[in-house]
């Protein structure tokens, strides 16, 4: 099944890179390219489009404003050189948020969310070479977190705690938003408040998951999927 897409960006080098990436993926079909977000909106209003690669810093109508207008009718992957807007982008239910310069592996992971329910395969994705940016304290402060370092994530009311081998990062977000950033092939939710990196699990039983000496609760709702998943590793 083809996923139709358009590219909306006012920077020619960024457009050329995205076009090259789209051409490399068989299930993507590029319909049009726009450097004007208002013209892109006109096209979206009269054509069926599955996905928009959308730059945020655009003249006349920003990418965030365009995303709000089109709503949930079209999937959006934000592409930008500015990490400041990441949290707002995910608040708009964006499929993903790609920070320029964009690596092909990261691009492929983002579009794969539309074809296999947010799951990737080991051949498509190498977490040791990938990272995400997490907004921390301060208006424009982000922390770069390598996926391979994440042990588990913990929900703390309106905040999330991301535990790595050497640090703990606190961010104002939800468990769902964090899981949307993480490859589903490598992370799994085990409790309404916890998700873990499968590769870092030391032992488990019917009630707990142990990672680096930390005991985490295994919720009844998640047990069946959890044991099925780890049995496939």
pLDDT score, position 128: 39
Q: What's the rounded mean pLDDT across residues 138-158?
A: 82
pLDDT score, position 120: 36
- Tokens encoding 142: 């982000």
The domain of 77 spans 3-112
Residue 69: count of CB within 10 angstroms of its CB: 13
Evaluate whether 62 touches 40 at the Cβ level (below 8 Å): no
CATH code of residue 39: 3.40.50.2300
Token pair 């913990």 is at which residue?
154
203 located within any domain: yes
Q: Please give the Cα distance from 207 to 228 (Å, whole number).
A: 15
80 located within any domain: yes
223 located within any domain: yes
Q: Please give the Cα distance from 168 to 60 (Å, whole number).
A: 40
Q: How many residues does the chain have?
A: 233
Give the single-character DSSP code of 10.
S
Q: Is 93 helix (H, G, I), strand (E, B) or coil?
A: coil
Helix residue spans in the chain (DSSP H): 12-24, 37-46, 63-70, 86-91, 104-112, 175-181, 220-232
pLDDT score, position 207: 94
Evaluate whether 38 touches 62 at the Cβ level (below 8 Å): no
pLDDT score, position 15: 96
pLDDT digits (tens, 9 = 90+) for 94-134: 788 888 889 898 899 889 888 754 333 333 333 334 777 78
Same-domain check for residues 153 and 220: yes
Query: Among the three residues 66, 92, 112, which one is the final residue of a domain in this structure?
Result: 112
The residues pairing with 32 across neighbouring beta strands, listed in sequence order, are: 6
pLDDT score, position 116: 56
What φ, ψ does residue 77 adopt, rounded to 5°? -115, 115
Residue 149: count of CB within 10 angstroms of its CB: 17
134 located within any domain: no
Report which of 127, 124, 144 is spatially closest to residue 135, judged by C-alpha positions: 144
């Amino acid at each position: 099944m083809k996923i139709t897409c358009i590219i909306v960006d006012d920077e020619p080098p960024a457009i050329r890179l995205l076009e090259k990436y789209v051409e490399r993926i068989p299930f993507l079909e590029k319909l049009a390219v726009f450097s004007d977000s208002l013209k892109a909106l006109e096209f979206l209003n009269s054509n069926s489009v599955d996905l928009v690669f959308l730059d945020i810093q655009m003249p006349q109508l920003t990418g965030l404003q365009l995303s709000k207008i089109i709503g949930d009718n079209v999937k959006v992957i934000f592409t930008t050189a500015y990490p400041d807007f990441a949290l707002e982008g995910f608040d708009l239910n964006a499929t993903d948020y790609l920070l320029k310069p964009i690596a092909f592996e990261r691009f492929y992971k983002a579009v794969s969310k539309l074809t296999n329910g947010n799951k990737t395969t080991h051949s498509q994705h190498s977490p040791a070479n990938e990272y995400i940016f997490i907004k921390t304290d301060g208006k424009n402060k982000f922390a770069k977190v390598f996926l391979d370092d994440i042990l588990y994530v913990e929900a703390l009311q309106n905040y999330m705690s991301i535990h790595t081998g050497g640090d703990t990062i606190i961010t104002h977000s939800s468990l769902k938003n964090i899981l949307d950033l993480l490859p589903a092939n490598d992370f799994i939710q085990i409790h309404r408040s916890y998700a873990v990196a499968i590769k870092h699990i030391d032992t488990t039983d019917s009630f707990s998951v142990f990672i680096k000496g930390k005991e985490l609760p295994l919720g009844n709702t998640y047990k069946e999927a959890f044991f099925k998943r780890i049995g496939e590793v």
